[in-house]
Structure 1
Amino acid sequence: MASSLSLLRQNTFLSATLPTTRPKPKYASAPGRVRMSLQENAPTIAVVGVTGAVGQEFLSVLSDRDFPYSSIKMLASKRSAGRRMTFEDKEYVVEELTAESFDGVDIALFSAGGSISKEFGPIAVNRGTIVVDNSSAFRMDENVPLVIPEVNPEAMEKIKVGMGKGALIANPNCSTIICLMAATPLHRHAKVLRMVVSTYQAASGAGAAAMEELELQTREVLEGKPPTCKIFNRQYAFNLFSHNASVLSNGYNEEEMKLVKETRKIWNDKDVKVTATCIRVPVMRAHAESVNLQFERPLDEDTARDILKNSPGVVVIDDRESNNFPTPLEVSNKDDVAVGRIRRDLSQDGNQGLDIFICGDQIRKGAALNAIQIAELLL
C-alpha cells in the first residue's frame, strides 16, 4: 500500500483506475533552486507531529513560501523517534517530544492532536515559545487568539517573535477556515445575520490513515472484496455519511458546533446565527461547502461576485454557461479557496440572501497554510 506521505500529495478523486505512482513531495528541493529560507538570524522552528499528514504539509508550505528559519526541529511521538527525514536537501532525525524540546525554540507548529497540545502547549509557552496550534484544544479559550490571517489578523497583532515571552495562537477548524475565507468579505459588506452551512468533507480531515483506508477500500470494493473498516467502522468508498465527530445532546456533532462557535469568535459577533450539517464524502483531500447567507443590508449577486474576485486567498469559478464551478479536484494542493454557484436566494425577499459553493484544500489552507501564514505575522 502507498505510504501516508505519498497519499497526502494525491490530488485526484478516487476512481476505478487509481494511480500506481505518486508525485515527489513538494518540500524536496527542486534541482538548481536556491533556498533563501535557512538564515542565521531567523527564528528557530519546531514542528510537533511532523510525521502526520498536516505535519508533513507544514514542511511543504514552509518550503514553498521560503519561510525564514535558522534551525528546525522535527518532533513526534516516541514511536516515530529516530526516523530520518530530508527537508530542503538536509537530513533530520525525528526527535521524541519532551518538555525540553522547546528550549531555544521561537515558533512551534503543533499538529499532534488535542491531548498533546493541552499537555505540551503550555510547557512550550512557559519556555518562551510562540505556539501555533492546529488542534481544538485552545480555540474557544477567550485568552487565545483564533486567527485566519485574511480575516482577523488584528487578533494577534501584539504577539511577535522577540517579544521575550511565549504565547498561544489557535488555528481554526478546517471547515471554518474554508467557509469564512469566502463568507467574510460578504459579511464586511452587508453583515451576515444567519448562515446555513452544509459540508462535504474529505478523508484528509481524519488524517493520513483515513486517506490510506479510503484508497484501500476502493480497491477492495472494485475487486469484489469486503472493505477494510478500521478508521470509520463503515464503508467509506462509494458512500457518504454523517461526520464521524461525536454527537452532542443538542443533536449537533462536534464538527458542526465548531463552525457555530468559531465563526462567532472570529467575527467577534455573538449574535450571528449559524447552523451546520457536516458530511464525510469519499474525496481524498479537499472539502466542499454549500453556504446560504442572510444579510442585514442588500447584496446582489454581481456585487458579491466582484467582492469575492478582489478578496485575498479567494478565486472565483462561476461559469454558468458551461456549468463550471469549484470542485475538490481543482483546489487540491492549491492555496486559494474557490467560490462559485453565486446566486440570489429566491426564498428571501429582494437581495437579502445569497447561496454560494466553496471548495478548499483541507490540509493546505484548512490547516498547514493558515498556520504558516500566522507564523509569518509573528516576524
Structure 2
Amino acid sequence: MGLKVAVFGATGAVGKEMLTILDERLFPADEMHALATRKSLGVEVSYGDRDLKIRDAETFDYSKVDLVLMSAGAEASREWAPKIAAAGAMVVDNSSAWRMDPDVPLVVPEVNPEALDGAASKRIVANPNCAAIQMLVAFKPLHDKARIRRAAISTYQSVSGAGSAAMDELWTQTRGIFVNDPVEKNEFSKQIAFNVIPRIGDLLKGGITSEEQKIVEETQKILDPDVRIAATCVRVPVFVGHGVSAHVEFENPISAKEARDLLRESPGLMLVDNREDDGFVTPVESVGEFAVFVSRVREDASVEHGLSMWIVSDNLRKGAALNAVQIAEALNNRGLIG
C-alpha cells in the first residue's frame, strides 16, 4: 500500500522540484497534497501528468498523511515541523532550522544513511546545505580511503539558491544593462549581473558568513567531527547549478589516479575528468541531472597528501529536492514512515 504525502511550500522553486522528482522516481504515494500559504490558494502545480490545487498549509489535517516534505523556510519549519510530527507524520525539512539539533538526523543518503535510525524520536529529518551536500558526496569515498584532515573550499553558488526573486533579479539586471537601465538591487547587496558577490548569508563574528559556518558545522556532523574546513562562499550570475573548488589534505597517501578510480565507482557521482579543453562539467551541464559531477582531480603539491578537484551539481535537485526525496525513500525502506 502506498503512502500519503504532502509537500509544504509547493509553490517555491524547490517545492515544485520535489513534486517533479517524486513523480520521476516513482515514489510510492497513493495520495499527494500540495500545500502553501493562503495567498496561493487556487494556484495549481504539476505532479507528473496531474495538476494539484494548492491547499492551505495552516488548516491542513496532518494526521491524514504519513510524510511531509517541507521547503518553506526556517521560520515556518520551526513553527510547523513539531506540530506536523506530533500529528504522526514524518517530516523531511529542507531549511536550516533543525540541522544542528542533536536529536535530528542531518543526512546525505550516500554518506550517512545510518543516521536515519535516530529519526524515530522527533520524527524530523534535516536536509543539509546545498553546497555541503554535493561536496560531501564527493568527499565520502576519499575520506573512507585516506581520511580527510582538512579542506579549503570555495563555492560558486547560483542565484536559485536564494529563491525565485533572486533569479528574477539576475534576469532583470542582465536585460537592463543591455538597454542602459539603472541597476536595481533588492535581493542582493551588490549587482549580481556580470558580477560575483563574495558573501552569502549574514556576517558573523570573526568575518565568517552564516553560509560558510553551515558548511563547516554540517560537514563535521555528517562526515567526521575532526575534519577541519575553511570555506569562502560566493554568489555567481548563474541561474541554476553550484560549483565547489576543493583543496583537500589527507592523513594517508592517495594519488589522483586512486581518487579517480574511487569516484568513478561511488554512488551518486559522475566522474568527468578528461585532460582536454572540454573535459570537465560546468553548472549549465548539471541542470536537470541527479548526479554530482567531479572534474579536474589532481594532486596538490603544496601539502604532503593533497588533492584538488572541481565539484558541480544542480542545487535545486541534489542540493535540495532530490536529496530530500532520497531521504524519504531511505526512511520508507527502513520502515520509519507510517
| TM-score (norm. length: structure 1) | 0.85
User: What residue number does 2:324 align with?
Assistant: 371
**Structure 1 residue 155 corresponds to structure 2 residue 115:** yes
Choose from 48, 69, 72 the match for 1:109.
69
Could you give the per-residue CA deviations for residues 108-143 of structure 1, whole angstroms, max 9, x where no partner exists?
A: 000000000000000001001100000000000000
Choose from 231, 249, 262 the match for 2:218.
262
3-state DSSP of counterpart to 1:157: helix
For residues 87-166 of structure 1, what are the structure 2 equivalents within 5 Å? 87-98=47-58, 100-157=60-117, 159=119
- Distance between the aligned counterparts of 2:156 and 2:61, measured in 1? 38
Query: Shift of the alpha carbon at 1:329?
Result: 1.0
User: What residue number does 1:37 align with?
Assistant: none
User: What residue number does 1:357 align with?
Assistant: 310
3-state DSSP of counterpart to 1:318: coil
User: What residue number does 1:243 align with?
Assistant: 199
- Matched-pair identity in %: 44
- Distance between the aligned counterparts of 1:347 and 1:88, measured in 2? 50
- Distance between the aligned counterparts of 1:85 and 1:358, measured in 2? 32
Could you give the per-residue CA deviations for residues 276-302 of structure 1, whole angstroms, max 9, x where no partner exists?
A: 000000011100010011101100000
- Distance between the aligned counterparts of 2:124 and 2:328, measured in 1? 11
Runs (4 or more) in structure 1 with deviation over 6 Å come to none
For residues 1-379 of structure 1, what are the structure 2 equivalents within 5 Å? 41-98=1-58, 100-157=60-117, 159=119, 167-267=123-223, 269-349=224-304, 352-379=305-332
Query: Shift of the alpha carbon at 1:89?
Result: 3.1
Query: Shift of the alpha carbon at 1:99?
Result: 5.7
Query: Shift of the alpha carbon at 1:166?
Result: 6.5
Q: Residue 88 and residue 332 in structure 1: after superposition, are their counterparts in 2 closer, same or farther (change >3 A)?
A: closer
Amino acid at match of 1:69: A
3-state DSSP of counterpart to 2:69: strand
- When structure 1 is superposed on structure 2, of 76-85 and 144-153 the one drifting more is 76-85
Q: 1:128, 1:166 within 8 Å by CA — same for their partners in 2? A: no
Q: Residue 144 and residue 255 in structure 1: after superposition, are their counterparts in 2 closer, same or farther (change >3 A)?
A: same
Amino acid at match of 2:32: I
Answer 1 or 2: which has greater helix percent: 2
Query: Shift of the alpha carbon at 1:82?
Result: 2.3
Q: CA RMSD in A?
A: 1.4
- Distance between the aligned counterparts of 1:356 and 1:94, measured in 2? 42
- When structure 1 is superposed on structure 2, of 290-299 and 269-278 the one drifting more is 269-278
Q: 2:20, 2:48 within 8 Å by CA — same for their partners in 1? A: no
Count of aligned positions: 332
Q: 2:4, 2:29 within 8 Å by CA — same for their partners in 1? A: yes
| TM-score (norm. length: structure 2) | 0.95
- Distance between the aligned counterparts of 1:332 and 1:181, measured in 2? 17
